């Protein structure tokens, strides 16, 4: 081992992106990890995962566009880049913008073209090289010559791939064995894969299966020890100070020590969920300190701070992996089969207009870890420890028809869909396996491409991010709804690059404006209000399905149809 050049990390990243085989990717990553000096492992592992060790840098897309010419010779090391980014992240106060720009310029001036491309991907969070956490876990195991299961277990308990890499590569299996579940330290949550319908989901999970309604809220992991409570997001950011009403409800539970997995959401006066955007906005703005006190309770100390959670993407982009059952048509969270249950809207205590927590899993209870227990054991313990009104109700389905009925009821209650779960599965680290499978209705619209942005990183040289517009029947023009680069294969990227060069009418070096002629079919999860776009609405999780050469722009869907979907009404015929 020795001091590793940042160029070597960039070369590995490019090689991983260009490699399709999983085994080959793991080999490339493992070799790069082996070369890291002990002091470089945390930063180096983060770079290889496409991340920065620093959660918030203050560097946006605009700052990445205006960059100096690349260096001709590589001089940067992993440690030097990490130090430079740490300095950029720490800039604050008067003159911070100019100082940050100066530091960023110095870093990019010292970087070669390949290094600049990696830096752009790291700062933007869009380094798509195919090195997900699961792949890195296997690479760490290979580099340290220890079982992959040991790495995955440590990753589950610590929630920090970088620290797991450092422990494995410096102390081996013995160091990983010292990593234990601790109340107050967030865990990487178990995730759900996707299926197009309940039949496909049940083929994956087997039967009988638990069917939970997928709440339209934010994923929360709640840690309680006595009167101390900490709340973490799906991305492990501490948002305790932002959810005082959730802290209050958790303190009212008959618990001493526990780690609960669930969701928080806003309800309207009838007990139905408010739009997801309102929930995420409330969670993103309530409170500013890292410690929350409600009824004399202080937040459990944990990694991460509220400053990281304040980024606009952290909470708003949180995608729930599970939720309540379909038992209640108004909400889907009231436990109708348990005595003493009541609707969430009628529960006493807490802020009537605040976020409400609903739990679907229990990972630790009064000194006992439940991670390795099958779902049915964890859920039974949850039912014994938490009042029914705070538990996500679930239906145990023996047949596809029963699961389909639960799915329909969840949608009728205003929820996103369902998550179908195997009762035999343990709680697994951040993996989208077949134990939990989510099913959501898929909305589609035929929209028109208004502009397209130049790609970077792996998409350098292609036109990538699409600006999407709906037709305005009153003006004959188009109203922008947002952007997406999701769902674009290499084949589509090549095709659209040629197509939009033909349609280009303006080019500012970053955004290419095109004639509004090309229709594209877009799938999305829902419509939300957005002051950012002229139509006042935007699409949630938009992704490209296909280009529609059989449709003219005059046949595209209208902004009125989009707004009707956002209001929960079927769109009127065009």
The tally of CA atoms less than 13 A away on the side-chain side of residue 13 is: 29
Q: What is the DSSP string of 131-170?
A: --HHHHHHHHHHHHTS-HHHHHHHHHHH--HHHHHHHHHH
- Of 173, 106, 107, residue with least CA distance to 143: 173
- DSSP designation for 558: B
Pairing of strands 443-454, 511-514: antiparallel
- Of 100, 97, 79, residue with least CA distance to 89: 100
Looking at beta carbons, which pairs linking 151-156 to residues 24 or more positions away fall under 8 Å?
Answer: 151/176, 152/429, 153/429, 154/179, 155/188, 155/429, 155/430, 156/187, 156/188, 156/371, 156/427, 156/428, 156/429, 156/430
Establish whether 214 is a catalytic residue: yes
Whose structure tokens read 């430079």? 84
Please return the burial class of 285, using the count of CB atoms within 10 Å of its CB with bins 0-12, 13-18 and 19+: exposed
Q: Find the catalytic residue in 214, 438, 483, 563.
A: 214
Contact present, 155 and 399 (Cβ < 8 Å): no
Query: With helix as H, strand as E and coil as C, how does 297-314 read?
Result: ECCCCCCCCHHHHCCHHH
Contact present, 190 and 431 (Cβ < 8 Å): yes
Q: Is 184 left (phi over 0), alpha (psi -120 to 50) or beta?
A: left
Q: Look at the chain and count its residues.
A: 574
- The angle subtended at Cα 514 by Cα 513 and Cα 516, nearest 5°, is 125
The span from the CA of 468 to the CA of 535, in Å, is 12
Q: What is the DSSP string of 409-430?
A: HHHHTT--EEEEE-TT----SS
Active site residues: 214
């Amino acid at each position: 081992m020795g001091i590793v050049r940042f160029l070597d990390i960039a070369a590995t990243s490019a090689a991983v992106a260009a490699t399709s085989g999983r085994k080959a990717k793991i080999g490339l990553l493992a070799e790069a990890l082996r070369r890291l000096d002990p002091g470089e492992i945390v930063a180096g592992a983060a770079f290889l995962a496409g991340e920065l060790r620093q959660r918030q840098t203050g560097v946006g897309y605009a700052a990445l566009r205006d960059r100096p010419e690349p260096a001709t010779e590589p001089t940067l090391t992993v440690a030097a880049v990490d130090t430079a980014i740490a300095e950029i992240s720490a800039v604050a106060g008067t003159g911070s913008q100019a100082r940050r720009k100066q530091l960023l310029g110095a870093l990019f001036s010292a970087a070669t073209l390949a290094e600049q491309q990696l830096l752009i991907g790291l700062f933007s969070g869009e380094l798509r090289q195919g090195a997900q956490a699961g792949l890195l876990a296997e690479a760490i195991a290979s580099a340290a010559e220890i079982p992959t299961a040991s790495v995955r277990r440590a990753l589950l308990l610590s929630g920090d791939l970088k620290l797991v890499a450092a422990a494995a590569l410096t102390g081996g299996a013995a160091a990983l064995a010292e990593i234990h579940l601790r109340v107050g330290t967030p865990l990487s949550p178990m995730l759900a894969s996707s299926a197009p319908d309940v039949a496909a989901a049940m083929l994956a999970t087997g039967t009988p299966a638990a069917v939970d309604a997928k709440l339209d809220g934010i994923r929360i992991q709640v840690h309680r020890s006595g009167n101390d409570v900490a709340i973490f997001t799906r991305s492990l950011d501490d948002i305790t100070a932002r959810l005082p009403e959730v802290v209050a409800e958790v303190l009212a539970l008959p618990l001493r020590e526990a780690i609960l997995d669930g969701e928080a959401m806003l309800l309207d006066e009838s007990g139905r969920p408010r739009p997801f955007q309102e929930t995420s906005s409330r969670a993103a703005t309530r409170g500013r300190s890292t410690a929350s006190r409600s009824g004399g309770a202080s937040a459990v100390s944990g990694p991460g701070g509220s400053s990281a959670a304040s980024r606009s993407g952290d909470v708003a982009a949180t995608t729930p992996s599970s939720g309540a059952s379909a038992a209640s048509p108004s909400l889907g969270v009231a436990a109708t089969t348990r005595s003493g249950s009541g609707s969430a809207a009628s529960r006493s205590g807490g802020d009537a207009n605040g976020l409400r927590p609903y739990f679907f899993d229990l990972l630790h209870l009064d000194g006992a870890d439940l991670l390795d227990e099958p779902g049915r054991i964890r859920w039974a313990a949850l039912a014994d420890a938490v009042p029914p009104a705070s538990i996500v109700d679930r239906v145990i389905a023996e047949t596809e028809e029963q699961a389909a009925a639960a799915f329909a009821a969840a949608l009728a209650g205003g929820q996103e869909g369902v998550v179908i779960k195997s009762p035999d599965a343990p709680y697994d680290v951040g993996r989208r396996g077949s134990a939990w499978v989510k099913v959501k209705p898929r909305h589609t619209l035929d929209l028109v491409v208004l502009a397209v942005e130049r790609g970077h990183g792996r998409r350098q040289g292609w036109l990538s991010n699409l600006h999407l517009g709906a037709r305005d029947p009153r003006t004959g023009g188009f109203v922008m709804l947002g952007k997406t680069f999701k769902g674009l294969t290499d084949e589509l990227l090549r095709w659209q690059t040629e197509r939009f060069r033909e349609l280009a009418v303006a080019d500012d070096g970053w955004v290419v404006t095109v004639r509004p002629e090309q229709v594209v079919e877009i799938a999305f999860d829902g419509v939300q209000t957005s002051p950012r776009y002229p139509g006042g609405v935007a699409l949630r999780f938009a992704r490209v399905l296909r280009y529609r050469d059989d449709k003219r722009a005059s046949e595209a869907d209208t902004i009125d149809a989009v707004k009707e979907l956002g209001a929960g009404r079927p769109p009127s015929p065009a």
